[in-house]
Chain A
Amino acid sequence: MEYLIGIQGPDFVLVAADSVAASSIIKMKDDHDKMFKLSDNILLLCVGEAGDTVQFAEYIQKNVQLYKMRNGYELSPTAAANFTRKNLADYLRSRTPYHVNLLLAGYDQADGPALFYMDHLSALAKAPFAAHGYGAFLTLSILDRYYKPGGWTGEQDASLLSILNKRFILNLPSFNVRAIDKEGVHDLEKVCGREREREGRERESR
């Protein structure tokens, strides 16, 4: 029911996550941010079991920051992804495995944009595009069909998410969208339906 998507462009990575925090049948929060900023150039998107997501993501986040404090330079996206995978793998066969599915997106000054797909069994794959959740069934094929390494733009992202509104039985009303390029992480405009926009404006005007 939660949904993550990441798309790598020529010199950026676009990531989006739905913003619903649910508890059984109730939507407890509809402006929940599932992205964790590991550093100025790396975002970790994390969905999965309720408490595990935040605990694991914050653990990774703090360790990445600790590495920077100790060594004076930041982990690259590749290194951060492998570090995350190693932690997932170590906990996998312990008494307390973390049931989380992750996307790690980053921009390395040397290597360019990178998107990594990780799942709860601690698989790691670098991919040009990736998605988690039931919505992935609907959106990955579109990406397979239309993705070209040099040709993905932001507008196509919105149209991609509109297919979820059309075909997915669950209503995912709004999505947080961010882009990472050589200047860092940028918040993009939320993709949401009209009613949510109205509520958002109401909230902001307070």
Chain B
Amino acid sequence: PFLASTLYLCCILSCTAPDSVPAPDASGWSAGGPGGPDSAPGAGPDSAPGAVPLPFPTAHGTTTLGFLFQGGVLAAADTRSSCSGLVACPASRKVVPLHRHLLALGSGTSADIALWRRILARELRLYQLRHGRRLTTGGAAKLLALMLHPFKGTELAGPPGGGAGTSRGGARLYYVCSDGKRLRGELFSVGSGSPYAYSVLDEEVRWGLSVEQAARAGREAVYRASRRDAYSGNCVDVFLVTAVVYLIKHRENKP
């Protein structure tokens, strides 16, 4: 079996649809992000009246992150799905494998993420069947970015996400956003808790980390972010993507 590209896509859909807040869905995530039914799209995410508006619209109630190191790509995410101040599901899965070498990290509205994930998985599989080889990580990120581009500016889709995987060229990490941005990098974090995670990661992540150290760094970053961010929390999922296959660490409870 040839090496598959692992594309780790973080699709985060943040959809603040003021007139249709999805009811909390017990079987999956629900609308991430603090935007409630009263907040207009693009308005400050704080829906409490008289609250100080945030300097930027916070994305999606999530902390997901991924970084490259010598052992592959490490991906970590929290497991809380929030819906306007309610924790709809404390055990959701935000890091989802698309295939053996590809992980998708999502942040945003769970419905949109689930949809785009399925669409992307379908397209990747079709590509593999048609061309006899798996799409590279960058190719899959490009595909997702191009598929999302027609929906830019609509309320429907707003996934910023990250993709991590290993392909013929080695481990890759991409950040894909619903506004069409697609960046290749070595360290990304997406979601409302991402600024907190970035600072911790920037301190701890080095190329030469061992697998254990990298897992600890990822877990620590998600944990720190979930301490400060109201919309992230519960447990931490840690994944490692290597040249061969992805590995999951046992889901850890936040102490």
Residues on A facing B (Cβ under 8 Å): 21, 23-26, 28-29, 32, 49-52, 54-55, 96, 202, 206
Residue from the list B55, B175, B180, B194 in contact with A55, Cβ < 8 A:
B180
Q: State which of B56, B57, B181 has its C-beta within 8 Å of the C-beta of A21.
A: B181
Interface string of B179-222 (1 = CB under 8 A from A): 11111110010000011001000000001000000000000000
B227 at interface by CB-CB < 8 Å: no
List B contacts of A51 (CB < 8 A).
145, 149, 152, 177, 179-182
CB atoms of A25 and B185 under 8 A apart: no
Residues of A within 8 A of B179 (CB): 49-51
- CB contact under 8 A between A23 and B177, given known A29-B183, A32-B183, A54-B182: yes
Task: Please give the residue numbers on chain B whose beta carbons come within 8 Å of chain A beta carbons, in ascending order.
Answer: 55-57, 145, 149, 152-153, 160, 175, 177, 179-185, 188, 194-195, 198, 207
When distances are taken between beta carbons in the complex, the residues of chain B under 8 Å from A32 are: 183
Interface SS majority for chain B: loop
**Nearest residue, chain A, Cβ from B57:** A24
Indicate if the CB atoms of B180 and A54 lie closer than 8 Å: yes
**Distance between A195 CB and nearest chain B CB, rounded to angstroms:** 13
Q: Are A26 and B198 touching (Cβ within 8 A)?
A: yes
Query: Is there contact, CB below 8 Å, between A25 and B56?
Result: yes
Contacts A21-B181, A23-B177, A49-B179; is A206 near B207 (CB within 8 Å)? yes
Residues of A within 8 A of B149 (CB): 51, 55
Query: What CA separation (Å) do A55 and B181 show in the bound complex?
Result: 9
Complex interface: chain A residues within 8 A of B177 (CB): 23, 50-51
8 new A-B contacts, CB < 8 A, other than A32-B183, A50-B179, A96-B152, are A23-B181, A24-B57, A28-B188, A29-B175, A29-B185, A54-B180, A55-B149, A55-B180
In the complex, are the beta carbons of A52 and B183 less than 8 A apart?
A: no
Listed A/B pairs (5) with beta-carbon separation below 8 Å: A25-B55, A26-B195, A29-B183, A54-B145, A206-B207
